[in-house]
Structure 1
Amino acid sequence: MEIFLTWLTSAGGIFGLLITAIKNGLGLDPLALLFALLTPSLLLYGRHEVRLRRLRSIKDFLISFGTDKERSHGADNADPAPLPADAAKPDANVRLTNNPSFEFVKSKYISDLQVQDPPEGKPFNEMNDIDQIDWIIKSIGNFGSRSDWRIFLSSIGFILLSYFGFSALFSTLSCGLGATTCCAPGAIACAEPAGSYGNWQQLTVIGSLAFAGAFIAAIRNFVRAVVVFDLSPYTFLRHTAEIVASVIFTIILFAVFRDPISGITGLVAEILPDAPQPVAPVGAPPVAPVAGGHIQPIWFGLAPLLGLLPQSATKFLLMKFQNLISWIKTTDDRFIGVTKIVSLDIIDGIDYETRFRLEECGIYDVQNLATYNPIMLHIESPYGIYQVIDWVAQAQLCHIIGPEKFLIFRELNIRTIFDLERAISSKHSVKAFDEICAGVLLASTSSLRETVRISATKPITIDTDMTAAVDADAFCIWARKRMQRDDDSKSTEHVLRWIADDLHVRRLRRLWFDISESLGEEAMALEDGIDAKVRVPTPPVVPVPAQ
């Protein structure tokens, strides 16, 4: 680090003058100051560019699937021609412009802005969506809006913490974690054996390494917050507090467990007193106890690791002292094996790389994808709207009926929640397929059997005057026979009615209708299909002769 700064200073120019002024005039570490200031600046610039790009994507989405009025407005940015007095007025904003899902996505990127009315034309609140987006992009085109400056002010604590952390880290690294000679002015561990420090120097080394790990973890979360446009003053304040907590608790752990290997060996000896103890080879020198100024090499890897995993140091301390606290409520974890998170890999079209890309948007399992806003996922990711809708519809079916039944239905060409809805409740559906779907919906699964076994609870069946507690398979067979006593089709439709009435399913259905309407009736079926609309040819336009 010192060699790099010396080279920049000797190179002269503005960088040399700036480094000389910071180092000699202010007495600060130029490289640590650069890292401390550059980190929040780049994050805020990335947030600004993400906002502009997402607003342009929202505008393009609105032009593609919005009303005719909005599309014409986006095409030439002029008001449409007035309609005749006796003509029926079009139902403006009947599609995506009035869709709550779209409105939520748009408000996410403009709610923190204080937008002024344009000097000419309509006030901002009276503009349509496309004109509002155009004016916002024009008014905040340069970096440095009020929202950006407010977030930057909230990062002052993070900047100060980063400066002192990097300053200590560079001093530690410049001496090679305990070099035999001093390698920088004010460096730690000068003229002492490798890995040998005073008490304060030891804590500085461990704290700087823990800071390095905590800073890397914070940068990962910062970048993820920028991707989903969730970077706020709270983000900087929370990660500043987490870095401080990680450094403090790592230092405490080092002070308590300076030699963790010996501690683990002693703990094993206490638990298993009859276990064979390691014997030193014949002729080997006796192992000296850990010196007061010596750092065990394992801490050079353990300190940044404890900082890299948020709250890992505090959790470790709680686990060590949990036996001393008897009033903590215990957790019933009997059903962890049957309540596993369903991975996104089960969805058709999502592979290993796509799964990690979706995790950047906060989508970690099938339930997250099933309840996610499809328009927002399309705007915040590189995937098309039709691909996103297909993923969400698959996830909703998998989340509602479980992965086992979902995979069985997929082999029956039922991939999404709407495929199942159309297969059962369509006016063209047949009774035979209702029975097929009911057989899958009421099938006994391994999760059901395991739940009944772990809980030691048996469902009750009633046949005529006989009541019995049966296992999972017998109960599913009884339920299927019970449906056949009544109208089997009505029972199956009733099952579908309650599993397809969640709010996120209704939201996706509304979006499905809006996009379907924007495509027109001609896209519903091919010309030779039984559901095809009769296409009336448009009469040719006859030019009116000039008067």
Structure 2
Amino acid sequence: MAELRVLSAVALLCLSFILPLTIFIGRSNIKTIRQKIIADLENVFRIDGHGPDTLIPSFEFAAYKYRALPHQSDQPQPSEWRAYFLPVLVFILVSFSGFLTSSGLLLTHARLEHFQPFFSGMTLVTGDPASRTTMVHYQMQTMSALTFTFIGAYIWSIDYLVRRISNYDLSPISFLRVTAHIILACVTSVTLHHGYVELMNSSPSSVVGDRVPELIVAFLIGFFPKLGLQTLLSRVPQLQVRRVDPRASGFAKEYPIDMVLGIDSAIKFRLAEFEIEDVQNLATANPILLFVETPYGIYETMDWVAQAQLILALDLDQIEALRLINVRTIFDLEHFLETPASRALLVTALNTPRTDGKGTVLQQDRGITDATVETIVRAIGEDLHVQRLRQIWRNIELKLKFDLPHVRRESEMLHAPCLDAEPPAPPPPRPHGEGRKTLAAVE
């Protein structure tokens, strides 16, 4: 029996090592694959005529994330195991303790008969044998709540760490955070369990019966961060130090990412792995990084980001009216300013009445005219995220070598010499015969 316990403990210790080891192996593979993709993209996003290592800023940011820039590829990378050693060790120890508790290897009748404040709460034991039996039953209930909380917290830790390697932002703080989350969830769940039992015992008409609802709550507390604390604060408002202004809820808006044409439920789930869960996240994303880190094409990611930027800049009534005239992206909005006929359609679409989504008109006339529409579009286009996307768009457009007038203009501007100083002014006209005098003097 003792040998079986030792073997079980060794197996649980190995299980505690599996997750960190898998995380680091996956991180290394992801880094290698994405560095190869970035190296293949260097020729596409290199600025012609500005040196062999001059890249557009958006690509430099993507390459810097994976340390794949040409002038950094030969430099030795510093060792990271020292920074990760202690946080990973603490995570393994906490996980191992949770697995031991969940497996019941440490549970013996002699141990459970003793009063342990963490597991026994306010339940005291006396010399009566029935009191000892009550103590054992109560501690078993506490251990059950703690086990389900740990399982929920550990599953959440797996999901969190997988997201970190998908986004390639794993750090020692990541392991410290999941460790703190497991400890906080377990302590909160046990505290709520003791409080729940005390509340039930204080009411004569209540009887503590089925424990399944409490175990479900314990699992949810472990899976969702700070759910237990939020539940406790909602039940006891006096514990809330900061008060939320009720008017703030009117500003809390979230546009789901599947508003963008081309994003279905499967792509939405895939993008959620990179914490791109709404339109604002997509509008500010780097399309080059989306191409590198996801299986989707560069043109597809650029189109999604351009659509999201337009949705973020306007309201839904305007977006619906613009799609009727085939304006989907932020650049379509700029192209409609080029001709008077399309400009008139654009003004009409932007002036569509603003509603609350239920048919009630909140603003009938927005006051957008032909004279002000260009200022509005220019203000939208001056956003840094729009400028970054425009630079990527034009760079790829020039690389495609299309025989289009605006492409030729962009290419001529790109290769034109930089003239920092103004050209010299022409000399003033000289009086008749002054040139001959000068020439005679030189001779």
- The alignment's TM-score, normalised by the length of structure 2, stands at 0.78
Whether 1:366 aligns to 2:303 is: no
- 2: CA distance, partners of 1:198 / 1:53: 54
Distance 1:208 1:422, change over 3 A: same
SS in 2 for 1:350: coil
* 1:332 corresponds to: 246
Structure 1 gap ranges (5+): 7-19, 69-89, 112-128, 176-181, 267-285, 453-470, 534-547
- 1: CA distance, partners of 2:262 / 2:241: 48
Distance 1:450 1:222, change over 3 A: farther
SS in 2 for 1:110: coil
Whether 1:435 aligns to 2:350 is: no
> Could you tell me which of 399, 405, 417 is aligned with 2:312?
399
Is the Cα contact below 8 Å between 1:155 and 1:236 reproduced in 2? yes
Whether 1:155 aligns to 2:88 is: yes
Q: CA deviation at 1:105?
A: 1.0
Distance 1:417 1:187, change over 3 A: farther
- 2: CA distance, partners of 1:37 / 1:393: 43
Alignment of 1:15-54 (within 5 A): 23=6, 29-54=9-34
- 1: CA distance, partners of 2:353 / 2:211: 56
Distance 1:316 1:153, change over 3 A: same
- 2: CA distance, partners of 1:196 / 1:57: 61
* 1:98 corresponds to: 55
- 2: CA distance, partners of 1:195 / 1:359: 47
Whether 1:232 aligns to 2:145 is: no
* 1:310 corresponds to: 225
Distance 1:254 1:374, change over 3 A: same
* 1:164 corresponds to: 97
Alignment of 1:110-121 (within 5 A): 110=67
Is the Cα contact below 8 Å between 2:321 and 2:349 reproduced in 1? yes
Q: CA deviation at 1:302?
A: 2.3
How many aligned positions are there?
392
Structure 2 gap ranges (5+): 114-129, 410-443
* 1:419 corresponds to: 332
Residues 466-511 of structure 1: CA distance to partner in whole angstroms, max 9, x if unpaired?
Answer: xxxxx721x43xx25xx3xxxx2x4221121112211100111111
Distance 1:327 1:348, change over 3 A: closer
> Could you tell me which of 382, 389, 401 is aligned with 1:508?
389
SS in 1 for 2:211: coil
* 1:301 corresponds to: 216
Alignment of 1:23-422 (within 5 A): 23=6, 29-66=9-46, 90-93=49-52, 97-110=54-67, 129-130=69-70, 132-133=72-73, 135=74, 146-171=79-104, 197-258=136-197, 289-290=207-208, 296-322=211-237, 324-325=238-239, 328-333=242-247, 335-336=249-250, 339-422=252-335
- 2: CA distance, partners of 1:509 / 1:432: 24
- 1: CA distance, partners of 2:360 / 2:79: 54
SS in 1 for 2:336: helix
Is the Cα contact below 8 Å between 2:321 and 2:352 reproduced in 1? no
Q: CA deviation at 1:91?
A: 3.2
- 2: CA distance, partners of 1:451 / 1:149: 61
- 2: CA distance, partners of 1:403 / 1:288: 51
Distance 1:289 1:367, change over 3 A: closer
Distance 1:288 1:506, change over 3 A: closer
Q: CA deviation at 1:187?
A: 10
SS in 2 for 1:197: helix
Partner amino acid, structure 2, of 1:316 = T
Residues 238-257 of structure 1: CA distance to partner in whole angstroms, max 9, x if unpaired?
Answer: 11111101000100000010
Is the Cα contact below 8 Å between 1:210 and 1:304 reproduced in 2? yes
SS in 1 for 2:33: helix
Q: CA deviation at 1:63?
A: 3.8
Q: CA deviation at 1:450?
A: 9.8
Q: CA deviation at 1:517?
A: 1.7
Q: CA deviation at 1:340?
A: 2.5
Distance 1:201 1:448, change over 3 A: closer
Partner amino acid, structure 2, of 1:296 = R
Distance 1:195 1:40, change over 3 A: farther
Partner amino acid, structure 2, of 1:515 = I
Q: CA deviation at 1:512?
A: 1.1
- 2: CA distance, partners of 1:370 / 1:289: 54
SS in 2 for 1:146: coil
Partner amino acid, structure 2, of 1:330 = V
Partner amino acid, structure 2, of 1:331 = D
- The alignment's TM-score, normalised by the length of structure 1, stands at 0.64
Is the Cα contact below 8 Å between 1:375 and 1:385 reproduced in 2? yes
Is the Cα contact below 8 Å between 2:112 and 2:139 reproduced in 1? no
Q: CA deviation at 1:39?
A: 1.2
- 2: CA distance, partners of 1:432 / 1:241: 61
Q: CA deviation at 1:289?
A: 3.8
Distance 1:327 1:365, change over 3 A: closer
SS in 2 for 1:234: helix
RMSD: 3.7
- 1: CA distance, partners of 2:408 / 2:284: 33
Residues 357-391 of structure 1: CA distance to partner in whole angstroms, max 9, x if unpaired?
Answer: 11111111111101111111111111111100000
- 2: CA distance, partners of 1:531 / 1:105: 26
Distance 1:444 1:109, change over 3 A: same
Q: CA deviation at 1:146?
A: 1.6
- 2: CA distance, partners of 1:446 / 1:407: 12
Distance 1:396 1:51, change over 3 A: same
Partner amino acid, structure 2, of 1:91 = H
Partner amino acid, structure 2, of 1:472 = Q
Residues 406-435 of structure 1: CA distance to partner in whole angstroms, max 9, x if unpaired?
Answer: 2321221111100110111x3xx1x23212
Is the Cα contact below 8 Å between 2:166 and 2:274 reproduced in 1? yes
